[in-house]
Chain A
Amino acid sequence: QKEVEQDPGPLSVPEGAIVSLNCTYSNSAFQYFMWYRQYSRKGPELLMYTYSSGNKEDGRFTAQVDKSSKYISLFIRDSQPSDSATYLCAIGNTDKLIFGTGTRLQVFP
């Protein structure tokens, strides 16, 4: 079993839709939960991170962590074509970070 599992997609949605991206993990010792966005032919860009259960909001983006279920989500409200990218979750602690394989998202006008 992989330490971090992420649905590869692709996920195709119309502009304005609410998008839900998800990851599961196996190691309950992990404390930090990150989301990276990667545009085509670019390096990953840190989008959001949190270290506790619950929700964290930043504009149209909300990161949600459920430690009891070992499940994290990223919600994108009012999705835009510019949100089209691959989204990677990353989960870890102070000395290790493990990345999911990424979910490719396409938002069409």
Chain B
Amino acid sequence: DVKVTQSSRYLVKRTGEKVFLECVQDMDHENMFWYRQDPGLGLRLIYFSYDVKMKEKGDIPEGYSVSREKKERFSLILESASTNQTSMYLCASSPRVLTYEQYFGPGTRLTVT
């Protein structure tokens, strides 16, 4: 079974703090993704990576950056957290040529106060 884990289930941060969300997958997948999920808006792609040290912007990259130093690990960074970044953050991975076959982690519920 594919397993995608995320470092925290719940996180509370203050406005202006730097926030790191970590994601690890154990299936040797080339592709990894970060989404945020908000009521009525569905899943929106923030960034994705198709290889180590490679990254591509998704639909809503503003205010976020990512890091992929190892194949199994993909980090999402909020440089200066703001209240409008309060959301559920979901990490996913997929095989290189099967981008549509994505496997998700349990999510991190981030609250910025």
Residues of A that sit less than 8 Å from B by CB: 6, 8, 32, 34, 36, 41-46, 49, 88, 90, 92-97, 99-102
8 contacts between A and B (CB under 8 A): A8-B40, A32-B100, A43-B4, A49-B101, A90-B102, A92-B100, A94-B100, A101-B41
Is chain A's interface secondary structure helix, strand, loop, or mixed overall? Answer: strand
Residues B42 and A99 in contact, CB atoms below 8 Å apart: yes
Interface size on B, residues (CB 8 A): 19
Residues A96 and B43 in contact, CB atoms below 8 Å apart: no
Count A/B pairs, Cβ under 8 Å. 50
Contact bitstring B76-113, A, C-beta under 8 A = 1, else 0: 00000000000000101000011111111111010000
Residues A97 and B97 in contact, CB atoms below 8 Å apart: no
Closest Cβ–Cβ distance, residue A33 to chain B (whole Å): 9
Closest Cβ–Cβ distance, residue A36 to chain B (whole Å): 8
Is chain B's interface secondary structure helix, strand, loop, or mixed overall? Answer: loop
A44-B90, A101-B41, A102-B42 are contacts. A90–B104 as well, Cβ < 8 Å?
no
A32-B100, A43-B104, A49-B101 are contacts. A100–B90 as well, Cβ < 8 Å?
no
Closest Cβ–Cβ distance, residue B40 to chain A (whole Å): 6
A43-B90, A44-B90, A94-B97 are contacts. A99–B103 as well, Cβ < 8 Å?
no
Nearest-CB residue, chain B, relative to A8: B40
Residues B99 and A97 in contact, CB atoms below 8 Å apart: yes
Nearest-CB residue, chain B, relative to A95: B99
From B43, B101, B105, B109, contact of A99 by CB (8 A):
B43
Residues B105 and A93 in contact, CB atoms below 8 Å apart: no
Residues B101 and A46 in contact, CB atoms below 8 Å apart: yes
CA distance A46 to B104 in the complex (A): 8
